[in-house]
């Protein structure tokens, strides 16, 4: 035996070691023992799973030591409650954050594989609809990077956001079977399951000490099983937990039916229970009003709070100090029932006096609002709420009574004000207003961009602002530079690092040093070269997957986001048709070649949004096949827009379309990703566009359109889109062309709902903004020709985006709302495998 052979192999080496040889051995080992395959018969997915497990092993010491920190009594933990976490693929970002991307690339290459091919195998967990869910994912990543102890609580949907296919230019929804080949990133923890009750009735009783109490006798019980996913920070040990809950049948509950021979009854119960977390509701900014949705909300919130209480008590904590252990953030109103649930747990189950419990609750919760759209403000019909959560309705009544007593003093004699503030909407059919419950139950309320936070105070939450101005804050959204620059744009990241070092990755404000190079000819050349290369990659991908040839030197004009009337993808279409008409009118016209790229899903029940997709694909079909124009305009609709597919898109944009009607987009975060990657924005004064423009400089931003004040004035004075249609020839021509059946094989009915909505109603003021938009687009075209100017503007956009890092946003939440501080995680040895 050689000396080497006599040394014991420490478990640490095999499962945490980072030598190339160790990595290769680990991958081969996982392939054999976990996947049960020889390399010769292994699929790419088997190799992906083997690699994913290899990486997961390397996270374990960090993860377990982070969990140890949660349990320390003096540590305050952030609990981020969100019905959606749109994480995107894990493997790439975990390699980057662990700093092992190159090592692993080499280890994989030594086995004859390309890392990119393995990365492409991953099914992303699409457990969210759009911006709100993606924000939660960026925030989890920043919390870990900033070494803040945090747990994300949400739902482990078996089917996430549907996959989008296009058939004949229409969206078709396909079930997202993201779990079908297994999920290497999660660990089920059945031993930590909790029970969640639904329905039934309540009953008053007197306890041993003679106190009046209420008990809830539920009709059904569902088991919540947690599945944990590690979220690792960038170059730190902190690896926080995302704990997602899956509903299962509570077996004990079925025994009776089963013993009586009612086998099907018992199985029904199982199916009923498992349905709870089966599928994500696919509406962004929804008003669903579906019972199952309320069941989902209550389910995960109850699981989360029971889990937190157990953790707190397990660490020897007193429930009167619960708020010192946990800072709980409500990500929109979806988890707002938490306010009533925490009260129920504290008062009914743990026998705290009401006032003490209320103080704990209010000190625990913070509430973020993410939208002003009236149709998105959640309210539940009272009978539905009461039948599902009878005890919570009583608690809400009690909260409301006490709250209104307090408000009455402030608004003496103003009964209308009290009716407006009430947690119960009694103006017609009665509803529970979830935003009101969240406001009353939280110590801090915030919007997600300056403009949005101001509008909240003036509109939907005006009465609450009058009552408690001190509760209101702004926390402008941010995005993580690790995924949205370092990972998605490696070429640009490298160029930046070569010039200013690596600090920007965690201190995004450092990008400002690039300003010094904005006029530097050589730097500009390199900047352009990279943009060109990235555009070429996207062009190749589009050629391969959609068989559309696009010119990488054309202006890439990109709008990717959920399809919604307020986001106005159809305004963009009107511009395309206007250009098309110009070329047809004057075939020799000198216009900048443009490639219009769209991507986004429409809610399956949102007919108008689906028609918007059809109009885009129909215009694409005509334009792309018209020999007169197709070398100057191309239109592409990228199917199945999701996190994975978006990553090559942001870096390739020259122009970012952020054209929502002023006052409608709460913030936007795509706007940030584009600008960070050097795209210029054409946008309205809406959401975070306002702050992006301030940051990058008005001269580096293409502004157009009505301001929020002008929008309000126009609507108050009686907006008539028909007048705009009639007095704007280009607009009329564009709309008429759609109406004539030109883009629909002569079918004049197809787009009639869309056209009628525009010329007779136009709730989002496309026609009012049309001329300003076209003029602004003309300026964009001219400026694009001034290559050096454009490049300078592009560099300055990236250089000045530091503020929009989710690290900055999370620091603000920590300081102003959660009052938590970083704690570094010490890696204690976990195996002593000495010979
Ligand atoms: C949203 C808003 O519409 C976006 O403007 C915002 O950026 C995002 C995150 O704050 O939240 N609200 C919502 O319901 N879906 C969103 O994307």
Closest atom, ligand 1, to C-alpha of 668: 7
Q: How far is the CA of 521 from the centre of ligand 1 (A)?
A: 39
Most confident of 281-295, 367-381, 702-716: 702-716
Residues 3-31 pLDDT 10s: 444 444 455 577 889 999 999 999 999 99
Closest atom, ligand 1, to C-alpha of 687: 5
Q: What is the pLDDT of residue 156?
A: 98
Q: How far is the CA of 687 from the centre of ligand 1 (A)?
A: 10
Pocket of ligand 1, candidates 85, 128, 284, 370: which has the most ligand atoms within 8 Å of its Cβ, to mutate? 370
Inter-CA distances, 550 with 236, 535, 541, 621, 820, Å: 42, 10, 10, 14, 50
DSSP for residue 744? T
Asked whether the predicted pLDDT for residue 776 surpasses 60, the reply is yes
Containing H/E element for 709? helix 708-716
Q: How far apart, in whole angstroms, are the C-alpha atoms of residue 807 and residue 335?
A: 24
Pocket of ligand 1, candidates 138, 332, 448, 661: which has the most ligand atoms within 8 Å of its Cβ, to mutate? 448
Place of tokens 């040990």: 237
Q: Give the binding-site residues of ligand 1, using a 6 Å CB cut-off.
A: 130-132, 135, 284-285, 370-371, 376, 448, 477, 665-669, 687
Q: How far apart, in whole angstroms, are the C-alpha atoms of residue 477 and residue 355?
A: 34
Q: How far is the CA of 371 from the centre of ligand 1 (A)?
A: 6
Q: What is the pLDDT of residue 267?
A: 78
Instruction: Please report which confidence band the pLDDT of residue 288 belongs to, taking 50, 70 and 90 as the band edges.
Output: low
Q: What is the pLDDT of residue 262?
A: 73
Q: What is the pLDDT of residue 263?
A: 72
Q: How far is the CA of 203 from the centre of ligand 1 (A)?
A: 41
Q: How far is the CA of 243 from the centre of ligand 1 (A)?
A: 22
The question of whether 535 is a catalytic residue gets the answer no
Pocket of ligand 1, candidates 665, 667, 674, 683: which has the most ligand atoms within 8 Å of its Cβ, to mutate? 667
Q: What is the pLDDT of residue 392?
A: 98
The question of whether 561 is a catalytic residue gets the answer yes
Predicted-assembly ipTM surpassing the 0.95 threshold: yes
Q: How far apart, in whole angstroms, are the C-alpha atoms of residue 9 and residue 446?
A: 53
Q: Looking at the domain 497-802, which fold is it? A: Rossmann fold (3.40.50)
Closest atom, ligand 1, to C-alpha of 371: 12
Q: What is the pLDDT of residue 169?
A: 98
> What residues contact residue 756 under an 8 Å CB cut-off, 6+ apart?
none
Q: How far is the CA of 117 from the centre of ligand 1 (A)?
A: 33
Of 804, 549, 538, 504, the closest CA to residue 681 belongs to 804
Q: Looking at the domain 73-89+124-477, which fold is it? A: Rossmann fold (3.40.50)
The question of whether 673 is a catalytic residue gets the answer yes
Tokens of 649: 């898109």
Choice among 19-23, 567-571, 829-833 with the minimum mean pLDDT: 829-833
Q: How far is the CA of 567 from the centre of ligand 1 (A)?
A: 12
Domain ranges of the chain: 73-89+124-477, 497-802
Residues 544-567 pLDDT 10s: 999 999 999 999 999 999 999 999
Q: How far is the CA of 282 from the centre of ligand 1 (A)?
A: 14
Pocket of ligand 1, candidates 139, 284, 287, 371: which has the most ligand atoms within 8 Å of its Cβ, to mutate? 371
Asked whether the predicted pLDDT for residue 59 surpasses 90, the reply is yes
Inter-CA distances, 712 with 420, 457, 462, 686, Å: 22, 16, 17, 13
Q: How many residues does the chain have?
A: 835
Q: How far apart, in whole angstroms, are the C-alpha atoms of residue 595 and residue 587?
A: 18
Asked whether the predicted pLDDT for residue 832 surpasses 50, the reply is no
606 vs 258, higher pLDDT = 606
Residues 460-478 pLDDT 10s: 999 999 999 999 999 999 9
Asked whether the predicted pLDDT for residue 232 surpasses 80, the reply is yes
The question of whether 684 is a catalytic residue gets the answer no
* Average pLDDT of the residues in 505-533: 98
Tokens of 260: 């009586």
Instruction: Please report which confidence band the pLDDT of residue 268 belongs to, taking 50, 70 and 90 as the band edges.
Output: confident
829 vs 599, higher pLDDT = 599
| Catalytic annotation, pick one of 334, 567, 634, 664 | 567
Q: What is the pLDDT of residue 285?
A: 78
Asked whether the predicted pLDDT for residue 287 surpasses 70, the reply is no
Is the separation of the CB atoms in 677 and 699 below 8 Å? no
| Catalytic annotation, pick one of 312, 561, 568, 614 | 561
Residues 391-428 pLDDT 10s: 999 999 999 999 999 999 999 999 999 999 999 999 99
Closest atom, ligand 1, to C-alpha of 332: 14
Q: How far is the CA of 381 from the centre of ligand 1 (A)?
A: 24
Q: What is the pLDDT of residue 628?
A: 93
Choice among 280-294, 431-445, 454-468, 636-650 with the minimum mean pLDDT: 280-294
Q: What is the pLDDT of residue 644?
A: 98
Asked whether the predicted pLDDT for residue 715 surpasses 50, the reply is yes
265 vs 217, higher pLDDT = 217
Q: How far apart, in whole angstroms, are the C-alpha atoms of residue 805 and residue 366?
A: 21
Asked whether the predicted pLDDT for residue 779 surpasses 80, the reply is yes
The question of whether 480 is a catalytic residue gets the answer no
Closest atom, ligand 1, to C-alpha of 131: 17
Choice among 230-234, 269-273, 404-408 with the minimum mean pLDDT: 269-273
The question of whether 669 is a catalytic residue gets the answer yes
Closest atom, ligand 1, to C-alpha of 448: 10
Tokens of 272: 């009923």
DSSP for residue 507? -
Q: What is the pLDDT of residue 85?
A: 98
Pocket of ligand 1, candidates 82, 86, 128, 130: which has the most ligand atoms within 8 Å of its Cβ, to mutate? 130
Closest atom, ligand 1, to C-alpha of 135: 9
Residues 667-713 pLDDT 10s: 999 999 999 999 999 999 999 999 999 999 999 999 999 999 999 99
Nearest CA to ligand 1 atom 14: 285
Inter-CA distances, 734 with 428, 534, 748, 794, Å: 43, 33, 14, 31
5 vs 240, higher pLDDT = 240
Asked whether the predicted pLDDT for residue 833 surpasses 80, the reply is no
Asked whether the predicted pLDDT for residue 114 surpasses 60, the reply is yes
Asked whether the predicted pLDDT for residue 102 surpasses 80, the reply is yes
Q: What is the pLDDT of residue 176?
A: 97
In our burial notation (b when 16+ CB lie closer than 10 A, e otherwise), range 726-738 reads eebebbeebbebb
Tell me what percent of the residues of the chain surpass a pLDDT of 90: 91
| Catalytic annotation, pick one of 433, 475, 483, 562 | 562
């Amino acid at each position: 035996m050689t000396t080497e052979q006599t040394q014991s192999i420490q478990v640490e080496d095999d499962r945490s070691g980072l030598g190339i040889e160790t990595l290769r051995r680990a991958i081969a080992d996982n392939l054999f023992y976990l996947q049960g395959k020889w390399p010769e018969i292994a699929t790419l997915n088997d190799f992906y799973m083997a690699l994913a497990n290899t990486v997961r092993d390397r996270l374990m010491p960090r993860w377990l030591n982070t969990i140890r920190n949660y349990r320390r009594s003096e540590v305050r933990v952030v609990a981020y409650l969100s019905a959606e976490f749109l994480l995107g693929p894990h493997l790439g970002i975990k390699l980057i954050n662990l700093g092992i991307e190159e090592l692993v690339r080499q280890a994989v290459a030594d086995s004859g594989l390309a890392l990119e091919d393995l990365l492409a195998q991953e099914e992303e967990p699409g457990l969210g609809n759009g911006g709100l869910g993606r924000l939660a994912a960026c925030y989890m990543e920043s919390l870990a990077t900033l070494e803040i102890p945090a747990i994300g609580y949400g739902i482990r949907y078996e089917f996430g956001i549907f996959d989008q296919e296009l058939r004949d230019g229409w969206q078709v929804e396909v079930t997202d079977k993201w779990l079908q080949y297994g999920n290497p990133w999660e660990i089920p923890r059945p031993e930590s399951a909790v029970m969640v009750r639904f329905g039934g009735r309540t009953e008053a009783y007197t306890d041993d000490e003679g106190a009046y109490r209420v008990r809830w006798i539920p009709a059904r019980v569902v088991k919540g099983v947690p599945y944990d996913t590690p979220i690792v920070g960038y170059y730190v040990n902190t690896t926080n937990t995302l704990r997602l809950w899956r509903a299962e049948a509570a077996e004990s509950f079925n025994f009776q039916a089963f013993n009586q021979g009612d086998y099907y009854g018992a199985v029904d119960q199982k199916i009923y229970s498992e349905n709870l977390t089966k599928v994500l509701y696919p509406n962004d900014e929804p008003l669903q009003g579906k019972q199952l949705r309320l069941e989902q909300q209550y389910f995960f919130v109850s699981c989360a709070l029971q889990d937190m209480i157990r953790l707190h008590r397990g660490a020897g904590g007193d429930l009167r100090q619960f708020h010192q252990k946990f800072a709980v953030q409500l990500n929109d109103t979806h988890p707002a029932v938490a306010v009533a649930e925490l009260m129920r747990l504290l008062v009914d189950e743990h026998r705290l006096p009401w006032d003490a419990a209320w103080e704990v609750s209010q000190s625990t919760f913070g509430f973020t609002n993410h939208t002003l759209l009236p149709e998105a403000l959640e309210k539940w019909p009272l009978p539905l709420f009461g039948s599902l959560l009878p005890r919570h309705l009583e608690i809400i009544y009690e909260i409301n009574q006490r709250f209104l007593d307090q408000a009455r003093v402030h608004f003496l004699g103003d009964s209308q004000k009290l009716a407006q503030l009430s947690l119960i909407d009694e103006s017609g059919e009665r509803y529970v207003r979830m935003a009101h419950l969240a406001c009353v139950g939280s110590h801090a309320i915030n919007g997600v961009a300056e403009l949005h936070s101001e509008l909240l105070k003036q509109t939907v939450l005006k009465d609450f602002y009058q009552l408690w101005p001190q509760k209101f804050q702004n926390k402008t959204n941010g995005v993580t530079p690790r995924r949205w620059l370092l990972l998605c744009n490696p070429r640009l990241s490298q160029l930046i690092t070569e010039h200013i070092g690596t600090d920007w990755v965690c201190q995004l404000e450092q990008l400002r040093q690039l300003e010094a190079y904005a006029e530097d000819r050589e730097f500009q050349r390199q900047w352009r070269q990279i943009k060109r290369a990235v555009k070429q990659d996207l062009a190749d991908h589009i050629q391969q997957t959609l068989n559309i040839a696009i010119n990488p030197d054309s202006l890439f004009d990109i709008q990717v986001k959920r399809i919604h009337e307020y986001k106005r993808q159809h305004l963009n279409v009107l511009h395309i048709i206007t250009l098309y008409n110009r070329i047809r009118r004057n075939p020799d016209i000198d216009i900048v070649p443009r490639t219009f790229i769209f991507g986004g899903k429409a809610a399956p029940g949102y007919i108008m949004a689906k028609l918007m997709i059809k109009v885009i694909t129909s215009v694409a079909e005509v334009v792309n096949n018209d020999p007169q124009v197709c070398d100057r305009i191309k239109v592409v609709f990228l199917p199945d827009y999701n996190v994975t597919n978006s990553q090559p898109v942001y870096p390739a944009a020259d122009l970012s379309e952020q054209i929502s009607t002023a006052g409608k987009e709460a913030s936007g975060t795509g706007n940030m990703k584009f600008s960070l990657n050097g795209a210029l924005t054409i946008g309205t004064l809406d959401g975070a566009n306002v702050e992006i423009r301030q940051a990058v400089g008005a001269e580096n931003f293409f502004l157009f359109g009505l301001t929020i004040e002008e929008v309000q004035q126009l609507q108050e004075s009686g907006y008539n889109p028909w007048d705009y249609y009639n007095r704007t020839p280009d607009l009329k021509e564009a709309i008429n062309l759609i109406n004539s059946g030109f883009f629909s094989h002569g079918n004049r009915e197809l787009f009639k709902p869309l056209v009628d909505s525009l010329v007779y109603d136009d709730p989002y003021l496309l026609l009012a903004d049309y001329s300003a938009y076209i003029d602004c687009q003309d300026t964009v075209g001219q400026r694009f020709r001034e290559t050096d100017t454009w490049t300078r503007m592009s560099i300055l956009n990236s250089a000045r985006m530091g503020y929009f890092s989710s690290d900055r946003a999370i620091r603000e939440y920590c300081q102003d709302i959660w009052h938590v501080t970083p704690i570094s995680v010490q890696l204690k040895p976990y195996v002593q495998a000495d010979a």
